[in-house]
């Protein structure tokens, strides 16, 4: 939307919303906290920049437009299905219909959306009510967008979607392009770049996929964010998740067998309805045994309209908070161990900008360098670690 708006007329982007004539907010509604964050920003803009035209879109706009209008009656609320109409709504009649992004404002990593929608209906999740239709970017569109980003100097393409492993299209010649075939085609592009996955479900980690990642020699980043949510079989069943903790552990072991240095991350939820202390401890024990590189800890968020919101035995909020904090403490331990294990090893790090001294390794290890070598790839030696932060020196430069 940003690229189309700026390409469609004499407008320019500004860094502060307080200085903008038009403020466009793309909202999330996956948790109550996401709703609160969006509504807080909407109120701030409406109060402090009342002359700006305020347009709100995204999942909260689709799920509860009335809630937004109660906070900002003058806002223009646009549902997800109408996002493409926003430039013309704002008077940019000449805004081009772009096949994809050619740049990514302020970043050297480009985020490429390849898939949308989920129809799995996990008991706690609101997403199927706002994005239930599975859709995939056509291969030719993805090919053109990715190639343009690589040509324009982006060294990392982060593939995004709700169910990446469900990518499945036919190309113009009628050939089947599934998730692994799509990755093979992207990795075959010329140029010095790498591909990273934002997240993947454990049931989509096939032997074909593991083999491709192992054979890519780091071009398909050996870092995986694989949600577990809970390691209690009883809780997983109540959640409506479609795998067991035992299956998850077997697939993780298969990954590590081929990629011993993989950075494995996960989502864990604390306080799902009916979760007992013993069930929560099952998750804690599983997380310790798995030796993750890091966690994304969610507190269960009661969302009206989801099956979980109607379950009995809702866990009291203070208990949810306490369990989430214990899991976050474990996350800090895991991230520290991840950094410590890297000491003495070599990594290929990508720096974000000219003045940056922090970069990201292929396994998603964040590294602080001993000087500022500039954007691009750099080969470094990890020299030390302090808590979750690792430090490195540049061994040779390659941009």
Q: Is 393 helix (H, G, I), strand (E, B) or coil?
A: strand
pTM of the model: 0.91
CA angle 57, 62, 67 (to 5 degrees): 85
Assess contact for 159 and 198: CB atoms under 8 A: yes
Closest CA to 347 of 385, 316, 315: 385
Answer yes or no: is pLDDT of 30 > 70: yes
pLDDT band at 9 (very low <50, low <70, confident <90, very high): low
Answer yes or no: is pLDDT of 114 > 90: yes
pLDDT tens digits along 311-338: 999 999 999 999 999 999 999 999 999 9
pLDDT tens digits along 71-113: 999 999 999 889 888 988 888 877 766 667 888 776 778 999 9
pLDDT (0 to 100) of residue 395: 62
Residue that the structure tokens 């070598």 belong to = 373
Distance in angstroms (rounded) separating the CA atoms of residues 195 and 187: 7
pLDDT (0 to 100) of residue 12: 86
pLDDT (0 to 100) of residue 40: 97
pLDDT tens digits along 356-372: 888 999 999 999 998 88
Assess contact for 372 and 356: CB atoms under 8 A: yes
pLDDT tens digits along 229-280: 999 999 999 999 999 999 999 999 999 999 999 999 999 999 999 999 999 9
């Amino acid at each position: 939307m940003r690229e189309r708006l700026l390409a469609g007329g004499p407008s320019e982007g500004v860094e502060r919303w307080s200085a903008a004539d038009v403020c466009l907010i793309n909202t999330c509604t996956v948790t109550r906290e996401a709703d609160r964050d969006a509504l807080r920003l909407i109120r701030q803009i409406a109060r402090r920049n009342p002359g700006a035209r305020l347009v709100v879109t995204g999942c909260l706009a689709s799920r509860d437009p009335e809630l937004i209008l109660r906070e900002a009656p003058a806002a223009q609320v646009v549902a997800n299905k109408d996002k493409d109409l926003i430039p013309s709504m704002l008077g940019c009649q000449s805004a081009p219909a772009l096949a994809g992004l050619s740049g990514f404002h302020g970043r050297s990593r480009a985020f490429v959306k390849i898939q949308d929608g989920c129809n799995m209906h996990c008991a706690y999740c609101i997403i199927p009510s706002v994005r239930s239709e599975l859709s995939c970017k056509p291969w030719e569109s993805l090919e053109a967008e990715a190639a343009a980003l690589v040509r324009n100097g982006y060294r990392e393409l982060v593939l995004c979607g709700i169910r990446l492993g469900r990518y499945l299209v036919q190309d113009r010649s009628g050939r089947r392009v599934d998730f692994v075939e799509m990755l093979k085609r992207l990795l075959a592009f010329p140029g010095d770049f790498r591909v990273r996955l934002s997240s993947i479900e454990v049931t989509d980690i096939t032997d074909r996929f593991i083999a491709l990642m192992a054979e890519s020699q780091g071009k398909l980043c050996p870092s995986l964010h694989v949600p577990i949510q809970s390691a209690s079989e009883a809780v997983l069943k109540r959640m409506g998740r479609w795998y067991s903790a035992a299956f998850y552990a077997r697939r993780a072991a298969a990954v590590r067998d081929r990629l011993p240095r993989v950075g494995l991350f996960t989502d864990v939820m604390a306080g799902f309805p009916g979760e007992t202390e013993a069930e929560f401890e099952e998750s804690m024990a599983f997380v310790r045994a798995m030796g993750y590189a890091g966690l994304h800890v969610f507190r269960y968020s009661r969302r009206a309209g989801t099956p979980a919101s109607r379950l009995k035995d809702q866990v009291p909020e203070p208990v949810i908070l306490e369990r989430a904090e214990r899991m976050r403490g474990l996350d800090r331990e895991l991230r520290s161990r991840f950094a410590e294990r890297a000491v003495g090893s070599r990594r290929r790090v990508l720096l974000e900008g000219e003045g940056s001294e922090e970069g990201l390794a292929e396994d998603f290890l964040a590294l602080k360098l001993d000087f500022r070598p500039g954007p691009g790839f750099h080969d470094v030696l990890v020299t030390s670690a302090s808590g979750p932060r690792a430090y490195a020196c540049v061994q040779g430069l390659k941009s």
